Amino acid sequence: MYVVEVLFDTDDRGLAAEMVVEAARAALTHEQAPAGEMTVLLAGDDRLAELNRQFMGEDGPTDVLAFPSGESTPAPELPVYLGDVAISLDRAKSQAEAAGHTLLQESQLLVVHGTLHLLGHDHSEPDEKRVMWLAQNEILGQLGVPTAFLDALLREASLS
């Protein structure tokens, strides 16, 4: 079982918490993650810039940050805390507009992307990126994201 808590640190409630939970659970299920809990923070650019500076040493906002807990399962029957994902709704909106797709699609992408990072995926090396992007696209496809959007993601990542 997966528990996904959604926190809003913004007055913009343009996304339903249920969509966030569904996308995170889809990624956790796809990756056969152990039973666990995670938190998704939906915030604005200012908050993401603050977190980016504090934890990544980078100035400016970013679209998604992931903070894996590093916990291991204390016992098979007990859930593990997987970590936190923070998403900038400001970035999600501008990226969706620039790419010509919906805020829902961009947000699903960011939730799935951040959840995959919690589970150990990375994209700093080409082979890692390929594995992560293919998993990301499979999960998004299961969520009903249109094939054209998925194909564009692979082209953008130079994987098609």
Residue 160 has pLDDT above 60, yes or no: no
Measure the CA–CA gap between 9 and 21, rounded to whole angstroms: 17
* Confidence class for position 19, pLDDT limits 50, 70, 90: very high
* Confidence class for position 139, pLDDT limits 50, 70, 90: very high
Mean pLDDT of 136-158: 86
99's CB contacts (< 8 A; 6+ apart) are 106, 152
* Confidence class for position 147, pLDDT limits 50, 70, 90: confident
User: Domains in the chain and their CATH numbers?
Assistant: 2-156 (3.40.390.30)
Please count the other Cβ atoms lying within 10 Å of the Cβ belonging to residue 112: 28
pTM over 0.85: yes
Of 158, 67, 155, the closest CA to residue 115 belongs to 67
Sign of CA dihedral 122, 67, 45, 12: positive
- The whole-number pLDDT of residue 152 equals 81
Per residue in 93-112, pLDDT tens?
Answer: 999 999 888 999 999 999 99
Measure the CA–CA gap between 153 and 106, rounded to whole angstroms: 11
- The whole-number pLDDT of residue 33 equals 93
Mean of the per-residue pLDDT values for the chain? 91
Percent of the chain with pLDDT over 70: 96
Q: Determine contact, residues 59/13, Cβ cutoff 8 Å.
A: no
Per residue in 124-133, pLDDT tens?
Answer: 898 898 999 9
Q: Which stretches within the chain are classed as H helix?
A: 17-30, 45-51, 89-99, 103-118, 126-142, 147-156
63: buried, middle or exposed (CB in 10 Å: 19+, 13-18, 0-12)? Answer: buried
Residue 68 in 3-state DSSP? strand
Mean pLDDT of 25-42: 96
